[in-house]
Amino acid sequence: MRSLTFVIGTGRSGSTALSRILNAHPEVLSLNEYMASVGDAAFPEGKVSGAEFWQTLFRPAPHFERMIRSGLPLPEFLYTRRPGRYSAETTGIPALSLMVLPHLTDDPDGLLDELTAAVPGWPERTAAEHHRALFDLLRGRFGRSAVVERSGYSTGWAPGLREAFPEARFVHLYRDGPDCALSMSRHPGYRTITLLREIKEHAGIDSFADLTPEHVRSLPADLAPLLDDRFEPALVRDRDLSLRRFGALWSELVTDGTEFLAALPAGRRTTLAYEDLLDKPAEELTRLAEFIGVAPEQQWLNTGSALLDHSRRGSARSLRPAQLAELTESCTPGTRALEGRPLR
């Protein structure tokens, strides 16, 4: 593999557009929401067979399946827009099929079949070695030289990714705090994340692996159903959630990402501000391409610039002054973290 890069960040920061831009480059294999799709389950300890590894990629993600069955699919779920042979109601949608494969091809079921024929026969090795082999297979399949994985809400995976892939480079993508936090507050995924964090706070646990039936019985009636196989979408859509909570979440994620990046060797890290990308697309995309290890071709720069949405800038200014002040205050820790460690 010539180069492997992970784009980490809060999400709601132009990251989906960045995946589309990267996918338009003829030398980049853009793995869209790969980590969000397969998660920690795809990194078991020790050595595993190809068949065991494949199951971690094929097995549907339970939390995403619940959201689809409950009528609350995320806009990032590409497979549900053009359904194929898999369904959350019957077969379950394979983890790779939901967001990763439809980003690469108009025939995700066909590509999944190709992988199903190859991966289970691989020899026993570590999960990281299996992932590298999969990246190489896809890179060769699409004739690309560089691999870039990008998932939203991904700063928590960064330390584990560095351990698994010590050769990897990292890009910390971020957006203006109040604008990003406001976008989070309107997104069903981040609203669900906030409510699940509230469940853990109520139960006094750090991980859902520690959740007991007694914990569930003690939860408020508007939270407990979110753990069911199917729930009423209004529980997520209509609940009154303070903007301050999303500002605090943005601050937490941005601080984690900034601290992670600061610990990396200079040649393996860079930052990318969404606002800089809007203001100077050719300059920033050129810098990103060179960091990834591909040429900033002019046609790609033109395509990438056209894919950027300038209408999202300054969205928080639509709030009432008191709301904006409260949201800005809750974003202050993250803003200070960014100002304190400008890494290029």
> Model confidence over 233-254: pLDDT tens digits?
999 999 999 999 999 999 999 9
Q: Look-up: residue for tokens 């990438």?
A: 304
Is 230 or 342 the better-scoring residue by pLDDT?
A: 230
Closest CA to 40 of 127, 129, 138: 127
> Model confidence over 148-163: pLDDT tens digits?
999 999 999 999 999 9
| Res 341: pLDDT | 63
Give the integer Cα–Cα distance in Å for 26 and 44. Answer: 33
> Model confidence over 73-111: pLDDT tens digits?
999 999 999 999 999 999 999 999 999 999 999 999 999
344 has pLDDT over 70: no
Max CA pair span of the chain: 60
Beta bridge partners, 30, equal: 148
Token pair, residue 208, equals 């859902």
| Res 2: pLDDT | 74
| Res 13: pLDDT | 96
Beta bridge partners, 47, equal: 126
311 has pLDDT over 90: no
> Model confidence over 1-57: pLDDT tens digits?
579 999 999 999 999 999 999 999 999 999 999 999 999 999 999 999 999 999 999
> Model confidence over 102-143: pLDDT tens digits?
999 999 999 999 999 999 999 999 999 999 999 999 999 999
How far, rounded to the nearest angstrom, does the alpha carbon of residue 246 sit from its chain's CA centroid? 17
Beta bridge partners, 170, equal: 6, 269
